[in-house]
Amino acid sequence: MLIQESIFEATVETPVGRIKITADDDQILSIDFTDDAPAASGHALCERAAEELREYFSGKRKTFDLPLKKAPSAFAQRVYDEARKIPFGETASYGELARSAGSPGGARAVGSALSKNPHIIVVPCHRVVYASGEPGRYTGGDEKKLALLAFEGAVS
């Protein structure tokens, strides 16, 4: 007998656009930008994530405390874990993140892993920049990356 797992969704309006939160009973499956119509689930985990995002954008929260679904590979999980260590208002280069994730010379692989990050803002891939200091690409759009970096005071 196949047991159907319940999936819950909620959206939150932010200064950089609408964000959709998807969760099951135990973990956040994804946090991503969306153009979908607003949704509210009333699910406790979705509401907790929405509240933490509102606190972040109001300046009251610098880190997140949410149970996130693990990455599909050990390398991607190490990259996401290291990205979460980049402090609010600071940046790290792709190369620095590769070294701290145990893969010196793996800057491109880090970029590839971050391009698939299912938990935007919470896993702050927007804080990862080129070694030159240029912002680099962002799955949510380069203008959103610049807006997030400016919001955190990492760029002027």
Residues assigned a catalytic role: 125
d(CA 91, CA 64): 17
What phi, psi does 115 have (nearest 5°)?
Answer: -65, -15
CA distance from start to end of the chain: 56
Q: What DSSP string runs through 93-114?
A: EHHHHHHHTT-TT-HHHHHHHH
> C-alpha distances in angstroms, 129 versus 52, 95, 137?
24, 9, 8
Q: Where are the alpha helices (DSSP H) in 24-122?
A: 44-57, 74-83, 94-100, 107-115
Dihedral angle of Cα 34, 110, 92, 88, to the nearest 10 degrees:
40
